[in-house]
Amino acid sequence: ATKVVLSERNVFLGLLVGVGIFLTHVVYGTCFIIGSLKRPKLALKRINLATGNYIDG
């Protein structure tokens, strides 16, 4: 955000960029925490080790 203010000489634009960066961090951080706490719903299939094919279809 500081580079934007210095290169564009527009404080309002720099403020918008700073707020956008902050909100992006909040959203991605929240989604990361929620994703870490969820249990994955995996239905793993059994594999025939000799052929490498799925046993269950």
Structure confidence by residue, pLDDT tens digits, 14-52: 888 889 999 999 999 999 999 999 988 888 888 888 988
Contacts of 11 (CB under 8 A, 6+ apart): 5
Distance set, CA 31 to CA 20, 21, 28 (Å): 16, 15, 5
CB 5 within 8 A of CB 11: yes
Q: Using CA atoms, how far apart are residues 53 and 57, in angstroms rounded to an integer?
A: 8
pTM: 0.56
Where does the pLDDT of residue 57 fall: very low under 50, low under 70, confident under 90, or very high at 90 and above?
A: low
